[in-house]
C-alpha cells in the first residue's frame, strides 16, 4: 500500500488528513453538535466531491454523528449543499453569506 507523507508544522511526517468545518466568528454555531442540530437550516459548502478533507472526511463524520446514513445525499439533511470547487471558494461562500458552514 502507498500513502503520501506530508510534514506537519512540527516537521513530523504524516499520512493523515485534517478536516474542519468553518463558520463566521459571529455565528451561533460552536461545534459539531450545533451543526447536527441545525442542519436543516444550514447551507453547507463542500470543496469538491473528490476532496478528502473537503468532502470525504466531513461526510464520514456526519455519518458517525448520525446526521447522514452511508451513501445518503447530504442535501437531504441540510437546507442546501454546494460544491464550491476549492478551499478558497468554499471559505468565500461563508464570507459572502452563501453558506453558513464550509468543510475544508
In this predicted model, what pLDDT tens digit does every residue of 29-62 receive, in sequence order?
Answer: 999 999 999 999 999 999 999 999 999 999 999 9
Q: For strand 21-22 and strand 43-46, is the pairing parallel, antiparallel, or unpaired?
A: unpaired
Predicted confidence at residue 2, as pLDDT, reads 77
Residue carrying the nine cell digits 452511508: 70
Q: Is pLDDT above 90 for 18?
A: no
Q: Is pLDDT above 80 for 70?
A: yes
Model confidence band, residue 68 (pLDDT cutoffs 50, 70, 90): very high
| pTM, entire model | 0.88
User: What are the residues whose beta carbons fall under 8 Å from the beta carbon of 70, sequence distance 6 or more?
Assistant: 63
Predicted confidence at residue 17, as pLDDT, reads 76
Secondary structure of residue 85 in the 3-state scheme: coil
Secondary structure of residue 5 in the 3-state scheme: coil
Amino acid at each position: 500500500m502507498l500513502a503520501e507523507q506530508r510534514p506537519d508544522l512540527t516537521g513530523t511526517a504524516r499520512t493523515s488528513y485534517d478536516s474542519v468545518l468553518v463558520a463566521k466568528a459571529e455565528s451561533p454555531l460552536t461545534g459539531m453538535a450545533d451543526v447536527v442540530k441545525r442542519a436543516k437550516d444550514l447551507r453547507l459548502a463542500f470543496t469538491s466531491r473528490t476532496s478528502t478533507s473537503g468532502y470525504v472526511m466531513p461526510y464520514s463524520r456526519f455519518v458517525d454523528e448520525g446526521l447522514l446514513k452511508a451513501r445518503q445525499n447530504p442535501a437531504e439533511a441540510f437546507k442546501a449543499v454546494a460544491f464550491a470547487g476549492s478551499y478558497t471558494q468554499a471559505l468565500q461562500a461563508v464570507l459572502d453569506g452563501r453558506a453558513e458552514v464550509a468543510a475544508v
